[in-house]
C-alpha cells in the first residue's frame, strides 16, 4: 500500500515539474516576441533622435521620446546627462558596458531590463527597455512584477548568467544572448523590510485597511442587491417577451413597463456614474490645489532660508537635508530639491533614493517644459501618486533649482474615498430605482386600467342587452375614448332595436308570403273543381264528376295538411339528443319501407344491414333519410330510368380532410345519389336556406331541418351536383 502512495507522489511530482517547465517555456516565448518588438521600436525611435540631433532640432526630442513611454531615453554630452524622457528608472547613469550599437542586459536599482548605446557626434544616446521591477523594499503595493507590455509569472527572475537546463535563455533579434529566465527558487533574493518615517509614502507601508474593508463590505452588499434587482427585472422582461412571443404582441401596460423601466435604470446608472466621476475629479483637483498651495509656501520658506544663495550644489546637501526634514514636519509632506541640472541635492527622506525607489533626476516634464509650477502624476512601480513642482528661487527671484513635493494620493486612497462616497450614495439610488419602478408600473396600470374597463365592457356586451355606461372622471385621451364608447353603445343599442324590429317585420312578411303562397296553390284547383261541380249539378254527368271531384279535393286537403305540418315542425325544431344508434339498421329499415313508394323509383343499397354504431339522434335520424330521398324522388318525377343509390361505408382520410372533419376520429359516410337534372348553379347556396324550394309543392324546410339534426349530432351534411344528378353525403361519428 505504501509503495502505491510513493509511486503516486512521484508521478505527481514529475507532472508538476514538467508543467512548471512548460509554463516557463511558453512564457519565455511570449516575452521573447514582445521584447523583439520593443527592440525594433526602440531602434526606429533612436534613428529619429539621431536625425533630430544632426540637424540641431532638439525641440522635437520630447515628441519622439513620448511615442512609447515603455521605452526610456537618456542623452549625454560627454559625461553630462542633458536629456531624459522619464525619471522613474533609478541609477540610469551608472557605469555600464560601453559597447555601442548592441543590446545588453542591465540591473538597475529598481528594475531589470536591457539597454542600447548609440553615438552621434558629441552626443550619446542610451535607450533602456525595463522588463521587470526589482525593488529591494518589501510591500504589498510594490511587487516585482513584469512591466507592461511584458507579462509573466512574478516568481520568474531575470539573470545575466547563461545557465544550461535550469532556465530559458533570451536572445536579441540579432541572435546575441541577453539574459535568462529562472524560477525564483533558483536564485535566492534577500528583500529588505524598511519602515520609513515620512509623510508622502506612508501608504506604501501602512494603510487604513479597516475603513476600506468596511466600505468594500457595504459596497459588495449593495452591488449584490442591485445585481439581484436587475436580474429580476431582466428575467421578467425575457419571460414577458417569451410569453407574448415578441414585443409587438404584449399588452400596452407591459410595453410601457418594458420601455420605461430600462430607461429609468439607464438614467439612474448614468447619473450615478457621472456623480462618481465628478467626485473623483473633484477629489483630484482638490488635492492638486492643496498641493500647489503647499508648494508655494515651501517655495517662500526656502527663499527666505537661502536668500543669498546663487547656486545649489552637493555642498548644500547636508544643510538642505536638515532644513528639509524640519520643513517636512511643518508642512506634513516630503520635500526634494534638485539643482539646475535636474540632479538631486537634498531631500527630507534620502532613504527613498538610497533604496532605489526614486531616481535622482528630476521629472523630465517640469524640467524641460519650462512651467514655473505644475502638478503631475508619477508612479513607483504600478502605484501612482501626485507630485507638485515649483522653482527654487533666491532673494533676487533668480531660479537656482527645483522643488518637488510628492503627495501619495495613491489609487488605493482615492479608491477608498470613492468607495466611502459610493457606499453612502448607492442606497439612495437603489431606493430611487425601486420607487421609479413602482411609479412606472403604477402609471402604466393607471393608464391601462381604464382601457381595460372599456375592453371588459365590450367583451361582456351582448346584442339585445341593456347598455351600461363607463364612468370616467378625467378629460384626457382615455376620457375621450370612454365618451366615444358611451355614445357608440347608445347608437348601437338604438340601431340594434331598429334592426330587431325590422327583422321581425321582415320575418313575418316573408312567412306570410310563404304561407299564402303554399295555401294558395291547393286552393286554386279546389276552387276550379267546385265551380265545375256546380255547373254539372242536375246533369247526367254530375254523379260521375262528383266522385272525381271529391277525391281531388281530398288530395288537396291532404296537401294543405302536409304544409301545415312542415311549418309546425320547423317552428318546433326539437333539440337534437345524440346517442349511440345502429344507423345501418335504421337506414335498411327505411329503405325497405321506401321501396314500396308509389313512384316505382328503384332504390338500391350497398352496405351493411346492421351493426354500425354511430352518434346520432335515434328519433330524428330517419327524418333526415326521408327528407333526402323524398327530395330525390320529387326531382326525378316523370323522368325515365330514374334511379337512387344509397351507399354506407367508412369515410376515407381524403374525404375527412376534404370536409374539415377531425381526422383523429372515425367517421361513417352515407351517400344518397340520384340521376335527376341536378341543382341549378344559382341555387346551390340556397339549398339549406329555410323556405327555399324549387318545387310547386312543399315548404322548403326539409333540408334545413335535416342539417340541424346532423350537425346537432356532431356530423356534417353536404352535397355534390351536376347535370347528371345530385349526391348528398351524411357524415356521422362512429362510436
Q: What is the pLDDT of residues 104-149, one digit of tens each?
A: 999 888 899 999 999 998 999 999 999 999 887 766 677 788 998 9
Which residues, 6+ apart, have CB-to-CB distance to 50 below 8 Å?
118, 120, 125
Q: How far is CA 717 from CA 596, 671, 705, in A?
A: 26, 10, 11
- Sequential DSSP letters for 653-709: HHHHHHTT--TTS-EEEEEEEE-S----GGGGGGTTSTT--SSSSS-S-HHHHHHHH
Mean pLDDT of 545-559: 71
Which residues, including other chains, have CB under 8 Å from residue 389's CB and lie 6 or more apart?
295, 362, 363, 366, 371, 373, 374, 375, 376, 402, 403, 404, 405
pLDDT tens digits for range 597-616: 666 788 899 999 888 999 99
In this prediction, residue 43 has a pLDDT band, given cuts at 50, 70 and 90, of very high
pLDDT at 329 over 80: yes
Can you tell me whether residue 643 is helix, strand or coil? coil
Q: Any idea which of 6-20, 129-143, 515-529, 541-555 has the lowest mean pLDDT?
A: 6-20
Question: What is the pLDDT averaged over residues 527-555?
Answer: 72
Mean pLDDT of the chain: 80
- The whole-number average pLDDT for the span 310-324 is 92
For the entire predicted model, the pTM comes to: 0.57
* Predicted confidence band of residue 617 (pLDDT cuts 50, 70, 90): confident
User: For the segment 691-703, what is each residue's pLDDT rounded down to a tens digit?
Assistant: 556 554 555 667 8
Euclidean distance between CA atoms 114 and 147, whole angstroms: 13
pLDDT of 10 strictly over 90: no
The residue with greater pLDDT, 39 or 454, is 39
Question: Does position 345 have pLDDT exceeding 90, yes or no?
Answer: yes
pLDDT for 126 equals 93
The reported pLDDT for the residue numbered 521 is: 60
The residues, any chain, with a CB within 8 Å of residue 722's CB and separated by 6 or more, are 678
214-242 tens-digit pLDDT: 677 777 888 888 888 888 888 888 888 88
Q: Is the confidence at residue 273, as pLDDT, over 80?
A: yes
Residue with cell 334545413: 704
Q: Which helix (H) or strand (E) holds 625?
A: helix 621-635
Once rounded to an integer, what is the mean pLDDT over residues 366-395? Answer: 86
Q: Kindly provide the b/e burial profile for residues 7-32, where b requires at least 16 CB atoms within 10 angstroms of the residue's own CB.
A: eeeeeeeeeeeeeeeeebeebbeebb
Given pLDDT bands bounded at 50, 70 and 90, which one contains residue 47?
Answer: very high
Q: How many Cβ atoms from other residues are within 10 Å of residue 538's Cβ?
A: 6
Which three-class secondary structure state does DSSP give residue 74? strand
For residues 213 and 207, what is the distance between their CA atoms, to the nearest angstrom?
11
Nearest Cα to Cα of residue 301 among 348, 360, 258, 252: 348
Q: Which pLDDT score, from 0 to 100, does residue 639 have?
A: 80
Of the listed ranges 192-196, 296-300, 402-406, the one predicted with least confidence: 192-196
Q: What are phi and psi of 373, to 5 degrees?
A: -140, 135
- For 45, the grid coordinates are 525611435
In this structure, the strands spanning 603-606 and 644-650 are parallel
Q: Quick one: 718 exposed, middle or buried, by C-beta within 10 A (0-12, 13-18, 19+)?
A: middle
User: Would you say residue 553 has pLDDT above 50?
Assistant: yes
Phi, psi (rounded to 5 degrees) for 581: -130, 140
Whether the Cβ atoms of residue 112 and residue 134 lie closer than 8 Å to each other: yes
pLDDT for 388 equals 93
Q: Which domains does the chain have, with CATH numbers?
A: 17-193 (3.30.450), 211-340+392-417 (no CATH), 478-571 (no CATH), 573-733 (3.30.565.10)
Position 197 confidence tier, pLDDT thresholds 50, 70, 90: low
- Is the confidence at residue 39, as pLDDT, over 90? yes
Scored b (16 or more CB within 10 A) or e, 301-331 reads bbbeebeebeebeeebbeebbebbbebbeeb
On the question of pLDDT at 210 being above 70, the answer is no
Amino acid at each position: 500500500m505504501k509503495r502505491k502512495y510513493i509511486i503516486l507522489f512521484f508521478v505527481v511530482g514529475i507532472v508538476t515539474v514538467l508543467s512548471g517547465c512548460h509554463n516557463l517555456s511558453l512564457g519565455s516565448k511570449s516575452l521573447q516576441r514582445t521584447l523583439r518588438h520593443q527592440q525594433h521600436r526602440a531602434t526606429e525611435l533612436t534613428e529619429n533622435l539621431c536625425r533630430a540631433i544632426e540637424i540641431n532640432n532638439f525641440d522635437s526630442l520630447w515628441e519622439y521620446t513620448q511615442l512609447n513611454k515603455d521605452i526610456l531615453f537618456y542623452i549625454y554630452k560627454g559625461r553630462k546627462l542633458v536629456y531624459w524622457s522619464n525619471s522613474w528608472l533609478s541609477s540610469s547613469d551608472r557605469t555600464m558596458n560601453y559597447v555601442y550599437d548592441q543590446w545588453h542586459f542591465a540591473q538597475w536599482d529598481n528594475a531589470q531590463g536591457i539597454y542600447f548605446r548609440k553615438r552621434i557626434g558629441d552626443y550619446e544616446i542610451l535607450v533602456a527597455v525595463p522588463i521587470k521591477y526589482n525593488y529591494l523594499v518589501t510591500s504589498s503595493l510594490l511587487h516585482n512584477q513584469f512591466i507592461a507590455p511584458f507579462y509573466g509569472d512574478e516568481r520568474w527572475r531575470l539573470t545575466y548568467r547563461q545557465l544550461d537546463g535550469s532556465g530559458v535563455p533570451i536572445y536579441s533579434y540579432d541572435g546575441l544572448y541577453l539574459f535568462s529566465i529562472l524560477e525564483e527558487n533558483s536564485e535566492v533574493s534577500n528583500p529588505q523590510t524598511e519602515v520609513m518615517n515620512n509623510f508622502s509614502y506612508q501608504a506604501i507601508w501602512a494603510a487604513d485597511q479597516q475603513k476600506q474593508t468596511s466600505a468594500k463590505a457595504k459596497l459588495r452588499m449593495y452591488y449584490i442587491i442591485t445585481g439581484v434587482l436587475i436580474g429580476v427585472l431582466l428575467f421578467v422582461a425575457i419571460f414577458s417577451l417569451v410569453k407574448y412571443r415578441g414585443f409587438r404582441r404584449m399588452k400596452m401596460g407591459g410595453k410601457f413597463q418594458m420601455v420605461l423601466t430600462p430607461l429609468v435604470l439607464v438614467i439612474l446608472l448614468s447619473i450615478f456614474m457621472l456623480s462618481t466621476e465628478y467626485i473623483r475629479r473633484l477629489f483630484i483637483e482638490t488635492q492638486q490645489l492643496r498641493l500647489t498651495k503647499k508648494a508655494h509656501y515651501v517655495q517662500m520658506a526656502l527663499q527666505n532660508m537661502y536668500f543669498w544663495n546663487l547656486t545649489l550644489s552637493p555642498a548644500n546637501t547636508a544643510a538642505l537635508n536638515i532644513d528639509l526634514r524640519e520643513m517636512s514636519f511643518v508642512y506634513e509632506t516630503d520635500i526634494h530639491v534638485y539643482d539646475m541640472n535636474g540632479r538631486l541635492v537634498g531631500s527630507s527622506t534620502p532613504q527613498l533614493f538610497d533604496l532605489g525607489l526614486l531616481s535622482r533626476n528630476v521629472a523630465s516634464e517640469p524640467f524641460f517644459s519650462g512651467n514655473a509650477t505644475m502638478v503631475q502624476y508619477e508612479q513607483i512601480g504600478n502605484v501612482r501618486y501626485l507630485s507638485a513642482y515649483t522653482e527654487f528661487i533666491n532673494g533676487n527671484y533668480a531660479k537656482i533649482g527645483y522643488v518637488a513635493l510628492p503627495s501619495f494620493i495613491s489609487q488605493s486612497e482615492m479608491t477608498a474615498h470613492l468607495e466611502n462616497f459610493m457606499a453612502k450614495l448607492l442606497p439612495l439610488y437603489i431606493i430611487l430605482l425601486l420607487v421609479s419602478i413602482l411609479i412606472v408600473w403604477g402609471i402604466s396600470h393607471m393608464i391601462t386600467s381604464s382601457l381595460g374597463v372599456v375592453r371588459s365592457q365590450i367583451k361582456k356586451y351582448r346584442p339585445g342587452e341593456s347598455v351600461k355606461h363607463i364612468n370616467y372622471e378625467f378629460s384626457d385621451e382615455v376620457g375621450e375614448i370612454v365618451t366615444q364608447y358611451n355614445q357608440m353603445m347608445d347608437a348601437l343599442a338604438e340601431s340594434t332595436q331598429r334592426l330587431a324590429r325590422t327583422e321581425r317585420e321582415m320575418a313575418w312578411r316573408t312567412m306570410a308570403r310563404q304561407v299564402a303562397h303554399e295555401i294558395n296553390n291547393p286552393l286554386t284547383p279546389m276552387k276550379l273543381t267546385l265551380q265545375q261541380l256546380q255547373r254539372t249539378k242536375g246533369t247526367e254527368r254530375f254523379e260521375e264528376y262528383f266522385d272525381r271531384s271529391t277525391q281531388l279535393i281530398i288530395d288537396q286537403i291532404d296537401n294543405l295538411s302536409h304544409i301545415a305540418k312542415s311549418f309546425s315542425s320547423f317552428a318546433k325544431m326539437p333539440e337534437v339528443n345524440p346517442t349511440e344508434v345502429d344507423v345501418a339498421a335504421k337506414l335498411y329499415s327505411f329503405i325497405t319501407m321506401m321501396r314500396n313508394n308509389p313512384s316505382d323509383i328503384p332504390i338500391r343499397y350497398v352496405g351493411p344491414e346492421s351493426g354500425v354504431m354511430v352518434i346520432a339522434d335515434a328519433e330524428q335520424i330517419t327524418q333526415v333519410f326521408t327528407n333526402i330521398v323524398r327530395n330525390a324522388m320529387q326531382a326525378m318525377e316523370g323522368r325515365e330510368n330514374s334511379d337512387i343509390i344509397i351507399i354506407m361505408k367508412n369515410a376515407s382520410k381524403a374525404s375527412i380532410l376534404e370536409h374539415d372533419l377531425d381526422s383523429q376520429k372515425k367517421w361513417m359516410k352515407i351517400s344518397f345519389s340520384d340521376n335527376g337534372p341536378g341543382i341549378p348553379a344559382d341555387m346551390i347556396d340556397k339549398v339549406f336556406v329555410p323556405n327555399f324550394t324549387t318545387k310547386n309543392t312543399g315548404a322548403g324546410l326539409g333540408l334545413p331541418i335535416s342539417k340541424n339534426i346532423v350537425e346537432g349530432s356532431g356530423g356534417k351534411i353536404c352535397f355534390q351536383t351536376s347535370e347528371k344528378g345530385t349526391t348528398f353525403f351524411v357524415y356521422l361519428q362512429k362510436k
